[in-house]
Amino acid sequence: MKHSILTIGILSVIFGTACTEKIDIELNEGENNRLVVEGYFSSDTMQHSVRLTRSTSYFYNQPAPAELGAIVTISDGEGNLFVLTDDDNDGIYLTDSSAFGVPGRTYTLHIKLKNGDEYEAKDEMLPTKHLDTARYEYVDEIYGVKMEEHFYEIYTTFEERPGVPDSYLILYYFDDSCYNATFENEILYARDGASVDGGGIFDDVLTIMIEEDSIPKNPTVRLDLYTISEPYCDFLIELGSETINNNSIMQGPPANMSTNIINKSGGVNGLGYFSARSRSTFTFKIDNRED
């Protein structure tokens, strides 16, 4: 059961009583050695990657061990097969650079490990969305209250299928540097009508509020909008709630994340996710701000 961050916040601020301190805790870690898949296949023509690692005990405290020597393929059910190879022997398996996916098809990832175990994952690549326009506002006060931090609020309009519940992953690049590539800032995933921290999708408008000091001055902004499957969106939401938004009162009790990595040899399923997604992009510039 997680504690209310609201209550903790109030107590720490008001009374200065709530504090944290390091603790040694026995987690009954036991054996943790499941296959972990982080795989992406998109509509872009590029080298697509599938990273294979192993789960570890919680306090393993080293980079995740790579799964080497696996045979990895992606197929689209239309007779196309993409073979992925781990040329650098680091557990990252890549297609060749001419590979691309076609929206509307379901892609199947197949993995055969050195020990003979086989895993499979399927995901549907949904159609891309056309991004129309973008505008931004500089925000330094809210209802007359000057804020210490200043923000850019960016609004982007895009083509939306009325009445169809779509899910998205949104990545923002400022001068080619991805703002949320590692999910350390925010994972901007959303469903129609849903809000997320600092932004959301409402009808056909996508919004995000970004702190001015966290991005370059007068940047060129590129917005990548990935249409993703609903189960993958669920996975991202779960990943966010178990890691970045941990201890929020907005979430339920902790639980394992869903996965589409199915063990076809009858053993325990893998962890992580293989996602097929389509991308649309829009670029604009944030001009000099008059102080």
- For other proteins, the binding residues in 236-255 under the rule CB under 8 A are 237-239, 241-244, 246-247, 249-255
Cβ neighbours of 257 (radius 10 Å): 17
Give min distance, CB of 78 to other proteins, in A: 29
**Residue range at the interface with other proteins (CB under 8 A); choices 32-40, 41-49, 76-84, 126-134:** 32-40
CA gap 165, 171 in Å, rounded? 20
Which positions from 249 to 288 touch other proteins by CB under 8 A, shown as an x/- string? xxxxxxxxxx------------xxx---------------
13, 90, 131, 134, 263 from 218: Cα distances, Å = 36, 37, 22, 15, 49
Cβ neighbours of 41 (radius 10 Å): 25
Query: Is 20 near other proteins (CB under 8 A)?
Result: yes
Among 32, 45, 85, 177, binds other proteins (CB under 8 A): 32
**Number of residues in contact with other proteins under rule CB under 8 A:** 75
Residues 199-238 that bind other proteins (CB under 8 A): 202-203, 205, 207, 234, 237-238
**Residue range at the interface with other proteins (CB under 8 A); choices 81-89, 124-132, 198-206, 278-286:** 198-206
Which positions from 169 to 188 touch other proteins by CB under 8 A, shown as an x/- string? ------------xxxx----
CA gap 273, 256 in Å, rounded? 13
Count Cβ atoms within 10 A of the Cβ of residue 129 and give its class: 0-12 exposed, 13-18 middle, 19 or more buried. buried
Give min distance, CB of 79 to other proteins, in A: 31
CA gap 203, 188 in Å, rounded? 16
- Parallel, antiparallel or unpaired: strands 81-84 and 71-75: antiparallel
CA gap 98, 290 in Å, rounded? 45
Tokens of 282: 């829009």
**Residue range at the interface with other proteins (CB under 8 A); choices 52-60, 69-77, 106-114, 127-135:** 52-60
The conformation of residue 194, written as its DSSP 8-state character, comes to -
Residues 96-155 that bind other proteins (CB under 8 A): 142-143, 145
Judged by beta carbon, residue 12 or residue 214, the one nearer other proteins is 12
Judged by beta carbon, residue 218 or residue 258, the one nearer other proteins is 258
The conformation of residue 66, written as its DSSP 8-state character, comes to B
Residues 54-73 that bind other proteins (CB under 8 A): 54-64
